[in-house]
Amino acid sequence: MRHILITGGAGFIGSHVVRLFVNKYPDDEIINLDKLTYAGNLSNLSDLEGKPNYKFIKADISDYDAIRKIFETLKIDGVIHLAAESHVDRSITDPFSFAKTNVIGTLNLLQSAKDAWRENYEGKLFYHISTDEVYGALNFNESRFTEETRYDPHSPYSASKASSDHFVRAYHDTYGLPVVLSNCSNNYGPYQFPEKLIPLFINNIRYNKPLPVYGKGENVRDWLYVEDHARAIDLIFHRGRVGQTYNIGGGNEWKNIDLIKLLIKTTDRLLGREMGASEKLITFVTDRAGHDLRYAIDASKLRNELGWTPSLQFEEGIDQTVRWYLEHQEWLDSVTSGEYQNYYRRMYGE
Ligand code: NAD
Ligand code: DAU
């Protein structure tokens, strides 16, 4: 039995990765390590409770002693590291939390893995999940980010992720730690915390609340359905080349304002409102500081080496996603009320 440590498994992307691995690899033990910050919602994985190959550990990756102990006591063979502070706006008001979790936390995991594996790296792998934001911002006429694009982060969030990426590569180059990295574009889908654009706006449309569009809504993001990201992570973890970086992206660039109008049409239709009626909720607000104009990923390396392609057309993915949030209003309500934070105590008695 292999023991796979997945950090940040109670978060948005992590929960999809944990579910995929627990169900697909019954002979592997999947250990979900998460601090359960505001972004961690363990009820996202309630369907896995009691499965023999699933274990949850509440721990903070910025606590070196706790992380070392976990590596000393559990025979970890592989790490898929997703735990992070992930919201750009929060990084602007509280950059220190981002340095602590994203940089120091990653370093703690690297050092603990290196020491536990004691340079006998046979069968071991440290997989670091990163973001396209480390590459900076593109103009409208520039070609997409490749794995060779120079790092140029602009927000405290992307600076902290860039720093963690550098540490991961440094552990490979200096100590020979077997690592692999991937840098992905914007994800969307079920279980995303409603501070991020898509779930926030679906919830606000539902309650007829203003939709705060930063600046003129001209920024472009490259959207990928979260389960396609989880599938890419599975492929890279099992078949990626050690020491390599893979870009993951949807090939699906949308200007924010166009995406918001699509979201409004879809949500109005599913709510039985006149299509487009909620456009009156659009409210242009002060732009995000240092707001990157455009992200776009060239994922041809992943496609050519491992045969990965996104499975969903965007309109279909948005339809599916809006339906999910509307059909799971109790999920959105428990998150916005804070009730979701009681789940761990109820289930684990702490
Ligand atoms: P998220 O904010 O939804 O979840 C993060 C998880 O990490 C939460 O469960 C939280 O409790 C946990 N966590 C935070 N600090 C921790 C700590 N100190 N110790 C242990 N656990 C801690 O994030 P997400 O959107 O699922 O992103 C997951 C990863 O993927 C991040 O590394 C992010 O940088 C990267 N990523 C995200 C996107 C995206 O569009 N969301 C795109 C590319 C890459
Ligand atoms: O590109 C990958 C990144 O995508 C991940 O690394 C981050 O963890 C993830 O949060 C996401 O970052 P963004 O900043 O692109 O996502 P967000 O949902 O916050 O914003 C998407 C776009 O919408 C961005 O241009 C800012 C804009 N926006 C966002 C919010 C929350 C608004 O106009 N209004 C809003 O209220």
Do 42 and 56 meet the contact criterion of CB atoms below 8 Å apart? yes
Question: Which listed ligand is nearest to 191 at the C-alpha?
Answer: 1
Cα 209 to ligand 1 centre (Å): 27
Express each pLDDT in 273-294 by its tens digit.
999 999 999 999 999 999 999 9
Of all protein residues, whose CA lies closest to atom 32 belonging to ligand 1? 82
Query: pLDDT at position 244, please?
Result: 98
Residue 132 designated active-site: yes
Radius of gyration of the chain (CA): 20
Query: pLDDT at position 119, please?
Result: 74
Distances in whole angstroms, Cα of residue 73 to Cα of each of 55, 107, 151, 220: 14, 19, 37, 45
DSSP for residue 101: I
Options 29, 133, 253, 292, the catalytic residue: 133
Mean pLDDT for 133-147 is: 97
Nearest Cα residue to 61 out of 107, 14, 4, 15: 107
Q: Provide the terminal-to-terminal Cα distance of the chain, rounded to the nearest Å.
A: 29
Mean pLDDT for 115-135 is: 96
Nearest Cα residue to 109 out of 63, 40, 41, 145: 63
Express each pLDDT in 285-326 by its tens digit.
999 999 999 999 999 999 999 999 999 999 999 999 999 999
Q: Give the C-alpha separation, 101 to 163, whole Å.
A: 12
Residue 319 designated active-site: no
Q: Is the predicted pLDDT of residue 88 greater than 80, yes or no?
A: yes
Mean pLDDT for 130-151 is: 98
Residue 37: both structure tokens together: 């910050």
Query: pLDDT at position 147, please?
Result: 98
Cα 88 to ligand 2 centre (Å): 7
Nearest-atom number in ligand 1 for the CA of 15 is 26
If one counts every other C-beta atom within 10 angstroms of the C-beta of residue 154, the result is: 16
Of all protein residues, whose CA lies closest to atom 4 belonging to ligand 1? 11
Residue 327: both structure tokens together: 């059909």
Question: Could you state, in order of their start, the residue ranges of all structural domains in the chain?
Answer: 3-185+225-251+294-312
Q: Report the CATH superfamily, name and number, of domain 3-185+225-251+294-312.
A: NAD(P)-binding Rossmann-like Domain (3.40.50.720)
Options 54, 127, 135, 157, the catalytic residue: 157
Do 78 and 4 meet the contact criterion of CB atoms below 8 Å apart? yes
Q: How many residues does the chain have?
A: 350
